[in-house]
């Protein structure tokens, strides 16, 4: 089914669910986005008949009737009590998946067509159900880049944009990406695709995209790899690196409480005449842990492994050199 037809069917269902009255085919033609494109009356009625058949094959209870005994034209509506599902119990992850799918219709880019029919019906004096159903998602995608990138995903076109790395003060870099999809993780939206500049799969947080998003190349040029798990890729980018060993460190008494919370205390130990404790830490990255330990200064000493101790000393030496250069500039 084409995207245009699928959107038209969704809009038709929303329209017929939102009214308690029977709507004539002409009223539906003037109300539901997509039908106005029919060049002739005959083309519209063929399109409408196909859509009615499609809905009935999908199990949608489409009713036919007239508003009163004075009407001479049949109208249509969807029986809400027959269409709505009964009470459904969902697990936490299932409810999250449903909410994630539903929230797309709450974005400005996609909600216009979906709600336009209801607005037209209300303006025409048609009795519209105001309840909106029992589930009303309120999570929004406020990033300006959301609409253009989602459109590029749907049309299969590459995009270029400026992306800020590492937070508000990070470097802004121009990126050219073949977009595969947009997913939400921990309340934020991410683009996943092939980064042409780095020739690798990458994810980009939409809130860090600045300026306009420009689509380039022909439609349909971007192909999404089979079996790609977009959300899984984003999740893995937040996972900590694997543990490659253990580090033993000495911590002065009453100091480095952050290390004590994540480390395992082996027992009391003195170092250079100062009382303290010996701790064991999971070692995931020598450089990362070294930078972290270097900030504690003389309150921490690395006992093992030697390469971690050497990395801490290099960090101290670099900090001392930078401080010396700053003093020379000041004098």
The CATH number covering residue 272 comes to 3.30.70
pLDDT of residue 139: 43
Residue entry with tokens 């780095």 = 198
Q: Residue 317, exposed/middle/buried by CB under 10 A (0-12, 13-18, 19+)?
A: exposed
Return the SS3 of 191. strand
Low-confidence ranges of the chain (pLDDT < 50): 113-114, 126, 128, 130-139
- In the chain, the number of structural domains is 3
Same-domain check for residues 221 and 282? no
Q: Show which of 203, 238, 273 is a domain's final residue.
A: 238
Q: Record the tokens describing residue 36, joined without a space.
A: 């106005």
> What would the two tokens of residue 296 be?
């504690």
Tell whether 130 is covered by a domain: no
Whole-angstrom Cα distance, residue 88 to residue 100? Answer: 17
Q: Is residue 107 domain-resident?
A: no
The C-alpha atoms of residue 157 and residue 229 are separated, in whole angstroms, by 20
DSSP symbol at 128: B
Does residue 177 sit in the same domain as residue 255? Answer: no
Q: From CA 216, how far away is CA 190, in angstroms rounded? A: 20
The whole-number pLDDT of residue 97 equals: 61
136 falls within a domain: no
Are residues 274 and 211 part of one domain? no
Give CA angle at 316 (313, 319), nearest 5°.
150
- 32 close to 116: Cβ distance less than 8 angstroms: no
Q: How far is CA 254 from the centre of its chain?
A: 43
Decide which of 212, 238, 264 is a domain's last residue.
Answer: 238
Please give the helix or strand (H or E) that residue 49 lies within, else none.
helix 41-57
pLDDT number for residue 159:
96
Residues 183 and 224 in one domain: yes
- Tell me, yes or no, whether 234 and 254 share the same domain: no
The pLDDT of residue 179: 96
pLDDT value at residue 136: 42
Q: What are the angstrom distances between the C-alpha of 47 and each of 43, 73, 233?
A: 6, 18, 41
Q: Coil, strand, or helix at residue 95? A: helix
What residues contact 14, with CB distance under 8 A and at least 6 apart? 114, 115, 117, 118
pLDDT at 175: 95
Helix, coil or strand: residue 134? coil
Model's pTM, two decimal places? 0.43
The last residue of a domain, from among 94, 109, 133: 94
234 lies in a domain?
A: yes
User: What residue numbers bound the domain in which 34 lies?
Assistant: 3-94
Omega of the bond prior to 305 within 30 degrees of 0, cis? yes
Would you give the distance in Å from CA 210 to the centre of its chain?
A: 17
> Where residue 179 sits, what CATH number does that domain have?
2.30.30.520
- Separation of alpha carbons 308 and 314, rounded Å: 10
- Domain match, 259 and 232 both: no
């Amino acid at each position: 089914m084409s995207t245009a037809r699928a959107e038209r069917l969704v809009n038709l269902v929303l329209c017929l669910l939102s009214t308690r009255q029977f709507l004539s085919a002409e009223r539906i033609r003037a109300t539901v986005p997509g039908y106005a494109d029919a060049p002739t009356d005959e083309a519209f009625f063929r399109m409408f008949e196909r859509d009615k058949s499609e809905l009935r094959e999908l199990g949608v209870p489409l009713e036919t009737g007239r508003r009163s005994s004075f009407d001479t034209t049949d109208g249509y509506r969807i029986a809400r009590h027959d269409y709505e599902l009964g009470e459904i119990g969902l697990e936490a992850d299932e409810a999250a998946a449903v909410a994630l799918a539903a929230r797309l219709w709450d974005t400005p880019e996609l909600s216009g067509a979906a709600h336009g029919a209801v607005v037209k019906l209300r303006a025409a004096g048609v009795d519209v159900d105001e309840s909106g159903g029992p589930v009303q998602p309120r999570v929004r995608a406020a990033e300006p880049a959301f609409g253009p990138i989602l459109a590029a995903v749907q049309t299969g076109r590459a995009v270029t944009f400026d992306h800020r790395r590492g937070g508000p003060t990070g470097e802004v870099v121009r990126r050219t990406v073949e977009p595969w999809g947009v997913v939400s993780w921990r309340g934020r939206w991410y683009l996943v695709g092939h980064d042409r500049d780095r020739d690798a799969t990458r994810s980009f947080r939409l809130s860090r995209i600045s300026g306009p998003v420009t689509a380039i190349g022909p439609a349909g040029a971007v192909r999404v790899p089979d079996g790609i798990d977009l959300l899984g890729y984003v999740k893995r980018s937040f996972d900590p690196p694997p543990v490659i060993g253990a580090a033993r460190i000495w911590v002065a008494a009453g100091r480095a409480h952050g290390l004590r919370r994540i480390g395992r205390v082996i027992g009391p130990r003195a170092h250079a005449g100062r009382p303290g404790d010996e701790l064991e830490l999971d070692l995931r990255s020598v450089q990362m842990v070294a930078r972290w330990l270097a900030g504690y200064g003389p309150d921490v000493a690395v006992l093992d492994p030697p390469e971690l101790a050497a990395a801490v000393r290099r960090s101290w030496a670099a900090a001392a050199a930078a401080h010396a250069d700053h003093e020379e500039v000041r004098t």
